[in-house]
């Protein structure tokens, strides 16, 4: 195996395990000794159908997805999903806006149909707290849409909201890091570029009875048609699907949900403990109980210190730590392929920087 520089904490596209990249490279040149690249083989072949089916089976196994749910691999990222889902669903969706991605999802839903509703927007408090969902007026809505983890603001629902309507959730940045209470959901969707492979594809996990009631839309947008064709309505993003398949194999071989959910909590606790021990240097906005286990977002007292932090981090082989452009500051994204050892290296650097600048 070729080894690479791997302390890469970017928010997505995420660092990928060497196993995934090595296997994907081999398949790109010669898939399973067929003498053809995986991207050259027709999607009407047994080989490609097997990749699709095995990927679905692995995802079902890892996330304990009940049989009442259909698994769909669809071209386009999560941004495609949050525009396309309101196009397909007949009901009215209520949106809890808790950061950048849920806001964008609501804006796109409004373009599809002005009937969709904003239930709350916590922007006025800087997205520092989650809403109390039992205080929201859900009398007009058929679904409750939320983003379980807001990748930009670093705020996360640690449990599914308790509401009387089915949930629709954007899990792009925390899927495979927590168990999902499927009985509460109508749809879970996620872009693949963080914990499920590479960009350009998303996964929609949708209750089959909802599929039956979807709008008739052009086939290329249709979740129903995608389900009927087993994700092979047209030439699919097969390299993306194959990368997801490899990622799922890797997740399973390395401990699956039990390991990755425990690891996610452990690594976040380690970094927040150092942040909290240095409150004058490492500045956080989100209230501790809502802080994301995935995207550790903090600022420093001056823009110069941010520049120093990023430059010094690179001298310690730590990359991808710059905050989102609307936030500034620092963001460390801890997706599945980042190891506990690598988080340990980042923790040592946070300690070292605090000793130097406090
Ligand atoms: N939702 C969330 C929570 C995200 O983090 C992102 C990407 N960072 C998106 C949606 C958009 O994903 P994509 O770029 O794949 O469309």
* Residue pLDDT, tens place only, 218-267: 999 999 999 999 999 999 999 999 999 999 999 999 999 999 999 999 99
Q: What percent of the chain has pLDDT over 90?
A: 97
170 is catalytic: yes
Angle of helix 238-253 relative to helix 46-63, nearest 10 degrees, comes to 40
CA of 191 to the centre of ligand 1 (A): 6
pLDDT digits (tens, 9 = 90+) for 35-68: 999 999 999 999 999 999 999 999 999 999 999 9
* DSSP secondary structure code for residue 293 in this structure: S
- CA distance linking residue 131 with residue 239, whole number of Å: 39
The residues that bridge with 188 in the sheet, in sequence order, are 169, 205
**pTM score > 0.95 for this model?**
yes
325 in active site: no
Q: What residues form DSSP beta bridges with 69?
A: 207
Which tens digits make up the pLDDT trace of 276-292?
A: 999 999 999 999 999 99
Cα–ligand 1 centroid distance for 1 (angstroms): 31
Please provide the average confidence, as pLDDT, over all residues in the chain: 96
Q: What is the DSSP letter of 314?
A: H
Question: Which whole-number Å values give the CA distances from 84 to 26, 77, 90, 325, 330, in the listed order?
Answer: 34, 11, 12, 26, 32
Strands 330-333 and 155-156, how do they pair? unpaired
Any residues with Cβ below 6 Å from ligand 1, and which? 12, 77-79, 101, 147, 151, 170, 172-173, 191, 193, 199
> Which residue, by CA, sits nearest to atom 10 of ligand 1?
78
Does the pLDDT at position 2 exceed 70?
Answer: no
Q: What is the pLDDT at residue 358?
A: 83
93-115 tens-digit pLDDT? 999 999 999 999 999 999 999 99
Percent of the chain with pLDDT over 70: 99
- What are the beta bridge partners of residue 120? 96
**pLDDT, mean of residues 321-339:** 96
For ligand 1, atom 5, the nearest C-alpha belongs to 151
Average pLDDT over residues 170-183: 98
Distance, in Å, from the CA atom of 353 to the CA atom of 280, rounded to the nearest integer, reads 13
């Amino acid at each position: 195996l070729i080894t690479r520089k791997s302390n890469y904490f970017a928010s997505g596209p995420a660092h990928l395990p060497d196993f995934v990249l090595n296997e994907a490279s081999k398949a790109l040149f010669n898939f399973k000794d067929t003498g053809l690249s995986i991207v050259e083989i027709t999607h009407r072949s047994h080989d490609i159908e097997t990749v699709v089916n095995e990927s679905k089976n692995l995802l079902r196994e890892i996330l304990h997805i009940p049989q009442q749910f259909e698994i769909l691999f669809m071209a386009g990222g999560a941004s495609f999903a949050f525009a396309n889902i309101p196009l397909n669903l007949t009901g009215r969706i209520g949106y809890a806006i808790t950061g950048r991605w849920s806001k964008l999802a609501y804006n796109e839903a409004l373009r599809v149909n002005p009937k969709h509703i904003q239930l709350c927007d916590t922007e006025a408090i800087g997205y520092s707290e989650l809403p109390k969902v039992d205080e929201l007026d859900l009398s007009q809505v058929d679904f409750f849409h939320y983003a379980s983890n807001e990748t930009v603001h670093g705020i996360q629902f640690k449990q599914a909201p308790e509401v009387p309507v089915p949930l629709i959730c954007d899990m792009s940045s925390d899927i495979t890091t927590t168990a999902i209470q499927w009985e509460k959901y109508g749809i879970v969707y996620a872009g693949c570029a963080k914990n499920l492979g590479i960009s350009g594809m998303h996964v929609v996990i949708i209750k089959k009875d909802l599929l039956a009631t979807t709008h008739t839309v052009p086939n290329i947008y249709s979740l129903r048609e995608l389900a009927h064709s087993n994700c092979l309505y047209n030439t699919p993003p097969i390299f993306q699907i194959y990368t997801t398949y490899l990622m799922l194999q890797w997740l399973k071989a390395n401990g699956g949900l039990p390991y990755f959910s425990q690891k996610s909590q452990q690594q976040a606790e380690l970094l927040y403990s150092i942040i909290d021990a240095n409150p004058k240097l490492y500045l956080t906005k989100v209230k501790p109980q809502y802080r994301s286990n995935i995207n550790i977002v903090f600022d420093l007292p001056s823009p110069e210190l941010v520049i120093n932090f990023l430059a010094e981090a690179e001298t310690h082989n730590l990359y991808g730590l710059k905050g989102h452009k609307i936030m500034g500051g620092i963001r460390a994204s801890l997706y599945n392929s980042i190891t506990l050892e690598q988080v340990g290296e980042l923790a040592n650097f946070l300690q070292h920087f605090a000793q130097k600048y406090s």
